Amino acid sequence: MKILKDIFGHDSFRDGQDRIIDAVLNGNDVVGIMPTGAGKSVCYQVPALMFSGVTLVISPLISLMHDQVISLVQAGVRAAYINSSLTFRQCEKVIENMRRGVYKLIYVAPERLETESFIDACRSMDISMVAIDEAHCVSHWGQDFRPSYLKIESFIALLPKRPVVGAFTATATENVRNDIIKLLSLHDPVCVTTGFDRPNLFFSVIKPNNKSVKLLSLAAERREQCGIVYCSTRANVEKICDLLNENGFSAARYHAGLEESERTKNQDDFVHDRVNIMVATNAFGMGIDKSNVSFIIHYNMPKNLESYYQEAGRAGRDGSEAECILMYGAKDVRTARFFIENSEPNENLTEEEAKELRLRDEIRLKYMTYYCTTNDCLRSFMLGYFGEKHTGSCGKCSNCLTNYELADITTDTQKILSCIVRTKQRFGAKMICDILRGSEDKRVKSFGFDKLSTYGIMKECSETRLRTIIDSLVLQGYIGRSDGDYPVLQLTEKSAQALRGKEKLTARIPKSVREKAADTRSEPIDTELYNVLKALRKTLADRAGVPAYVIFTDATLRDICLKKPMTRQEFSAVNGVGHVKLEKYGDAFIEVIKQNVN
C-alpha cells in the first residue's frame, strides 16, 4: 500500500489488483483479464518496485511504452523502453544501462526478444518478472494475433532463472485464455477476471440518415472536449478530418498510409492537447494512456465486439464520465465483411485453420451487427458476449434511455415473411421495406413487384419501425440474413410457425428517447478553480515536455477542486498525488488554490 500511495498516489487498489499483486509476490504466474482503464499496469508495476531484480514488460504498443515510461519517470521510477522508435545507438545505450542495473522496469517489443544483444543482456541480469501486455495476441483466435508473441515462451526458457510470468489483456474469451496459458507455458497460473463493465462509460448506437451532418452536430455539442473519431478506411479518415477542420474544429488524422513523421506529430499534438479530435483508423489509440478522452465516436461499425470494446475503452481512462457513440449504417457491414474476406493470408495457419478463423470472424461480425440493431440494454448485450451476467437494464445506454412499447408484431411478421417468399428470398431489407410500403422506386417496378399482393400492405408503417421489426425478427431467429456484400433476407426453421400465426410474436419498438441521464457519480466542482488548475498544469507540463495528464489527470484536478488543500499534508490526501509529485508540484498548486479560494 505504501508504494501504491507514494508512487502512484492512490489510497486503495481497484477490483482485482490486490489479488493479482499478492499472487505475483508469492511467486505465482498470473493471467489478468481486466477492461481497458481498470489498472492492469499497476498489477505489474507495483511488484516490479518490490522485487529485487528487473521487470520486463513485453508490449506491441509503442505508444503505451512511451506513455508509461514517461509517467513512471515523472513519479521517480527508473524505467526505459526499447522499440523501433529509437535509433540503433539509443537502443545500445539502453542495453548498456540494463547491464549496469540502472532500470527497474524495461518495456520491449516482442520482436526484440529475438536479437542476440538483448538476449545476452537479459541472461546477465536478475529478471524477477516478465509481464506480457495484450496477451491475447499470442492466440490465433484472438482478434489481433501476432506471430512474434509465439517467441516469448522460448525467450523465457533461455533465461538462467525462470521469472514470474504475468499475462494481461482487456478482452479474452475462454478459448483465448486457455491459449494464453498453453502457448506461454504458464505454471498453474492464478487467473483473475475482474469483469468487463466500465460503469463510467455511456454507450449509444445511432442510425443517422446523414452521418456527416450528425457527426458535426455531435462534435459541436462537445466542442470543448477531447475525443477520437474512428473510421474503417483511410479514405474516410481523410474525408472526416477535412470536414471537421473546414467547420472550425481542431482535428488531426492518423492512419497507416501517412508518413511516420506525420503520424508521430499528429499523435503528439493530440496527446499534448494541441488538437481536440483525432480522426483515425483502428491503428490509432492502442496503448495511448491519455486520461482526458471524453468521447469516442465510431463513424463506421468495427468488425467485432472485441475491437469495438477496446477502441471505446480509450475514453474515460481516469474514471471520469465519457461517451461511446457508434454510428451504424448497413454499408458498414459490407465494409467489415470486405476486410474479413480480403485480409492477408496468415502463413502460420494451415488451410483448415484459416478457414475456421474466417468462419469465426463472420460469427463475430454477426454479433457486432446484433449489438447495433438490438433494442435491449447495450451494456447487458456486450457483457453477455464476454460471458458476464448483467441485470439487463443499466440506465446508461441509449436503449435504456429510450421509451419502448411492447408491440404485437404477429400480423406484421406474416406480411414480412410473405413478402420474402414472394420475392423468392433474393433481396435485402431495403427492397422488402420498399415493397411493403408501396414505394414508387423504379427498381421495385422494374421487377414487377408493384403487382405483388404484399405491395403496399404496410404503407402506414414508417421505414424506421419496419426495419426495427425486421431486425427484431432476425435477432429472434424468425428471419435469416445471408452472408455476402448484400445480405439477403431468408426464411428459417422458425419461419413456418410464424407464417401460420401459430404463436404470438412481440418486439420492443422505440417510441421516444429521453434526455441522457445526469451524471450522478460526480460532485459539482468550482469551475473557475478547475480552469485555473488546468492552466497551471499545462504550464508545468510544457516546462517538463510531457503531456498534461502525466502531471495530474483530470480526475485528480477535480479531487483537488473538491478538497481545496491548503497544506502539503492535505494535498497528499488527493487521489493521484504520490510522494514524488507532492514534492515536485504540491507547493505550486497550493499557492494557486490559496489565491483563488476565499
pLDDT band at 388 (very low <50, low <70, confident <90, very high): confident
CA distances (Å), origin 458, targets 254, 433, 467, 512: 46, 9, 12, 21
CB distance 275 to 262 below 8 Å:
no
> In the block, which residue shows the cell 431486425?
471
Distance CA 380, CA 392 (A): 5
- The whole-number pLDDT of residue 458 equals 95
DSSP assignment of 182-232 equals: HHTT-SSPEEEE--S--TTEEEEEE--S-HHHHHHHHHHHTTTSEEEEE-S
- pLDDT at position 297 over 70: yes
Please state, in angstroms and rounded to a whole number, the distance separating the CA atoms of residues 383 and 372.
14
Return mean pLDDT, the chain: 89
The torsion region of residue 39 among left (phi > 0), alpha (psi -120 to 50) and beta comes to: left
Using only C-alpha atoms, what is the Rg of the chain? 27
Q: Domains plus CATH for the chain?
A: 2-193 (3.40.50.300), 201-385 (3.40.50.300), 404-513 (1.10.10.10), 527-596 (1.10.150.80)
190-215 pLDDT, tens digit per residue, is 999 887 888 899 999 999 989 999 99
- 282 pLDDT tier (thresholds 50, 70, 90): confident
Cα–Cα distance, 456 to 451 (Å, whole number): 10
- Tell me how far apart the alpha carbons of residues 132 and 58 are, in angstroms, rounded to a whole number: 5
Q: How far is it, in rounded angstroms, from Cα 422 to Cα 537?
A: 67
Q: By percentage, how much of the chain surpasses pLDDT 90?
A: 57
pLDDT greater than 50 at residue 476: yes
- 489-510, pLDDT tens digit by residue? 999 999 988 988 778 899 888 8
517, pLDDT greater than 60: no
| pLDDT for 224 beyond 70 | yes
Distance (Å, whole) CA 89 – CA 586: 37
Q: Are 427 and 488 in contact (CB under 8 A)?
A: yes
**Mean pLDDT score, 315-324:** 90
What integer is the mean pLDDT of 285-309? 85
pLDDT band at 516 (very low <50, low <70, confident <90, very high): low
Q: How far is the C-alpha of 280 from the C-alpha of 382, rounded, in Å?
A: 23
What pLDDT, on a 0 to 100 scale, did the predictor assign at position 518? Answer: 45
Q: Report the C-alpha gap between 154 and 384 in whole angstroms.
A: 36
Asked whether 8 and 42 are in contact (CB, 8 A), the reply is: yes
d(CA 266, CA 122): 35
Which positions ≥6 away from 15 have C-beta within 8 Å?
A: 38, 194, 195
Q: Is the pLDDT of residue 519 over 70?
A: no
Residue with cell 475525443: 227
Are 95 and 43 in contact, with CB atoms under 8 Å apart? Answer: no
CA distance 271 to 49: 27
Q: What CA–CA distance (Å, rounded) separates 346 from 26?
A: 39
Q: Please say whether the beta carbons of 417 and 480 come within 8 A.
A: no
Residues of the chain with pLDDT > 70, as a percent, come to 95
Compute CA 591 distance to the chain's CA centroid, rounded to the nearest angstrom.
Answer: 38
Cα 269 from Cα 275, distance rounded (Å) = 6
The span from the CA of 301 to the CA of 366, in Å, is: 12
**How far is the first Cα of the chain from the last one, in angstroms, to the nearest whole number?**
35
The CA-based dihedral angle spanning residues 83, 85, 87, 92, taken in that order and rounded to the nearest 10 degrees = -20
Q: What is the pLDDT of residues 26-83, one digit of tens each?
A: 999 999 998 877 788 999 999 999 999 999 999 988 877 888 898 899 889 999 999 8
In residues, how long is the chain? 598
pLDDT value of position 503? 83
What distance in Å separates the CA atoms of residue 58 and residue 347, rounded to the nearest whole number?
Answer: 23
Residue with cell 523501433: 84
Query: What is the reported pLDDT for 453?
Result: 95
303: pLDDT strictly greater than 70: yes
pLDDT at 521: 45
Q: What is the pLDDT of residue 288?
A: 66
pLDDT at 283: 59
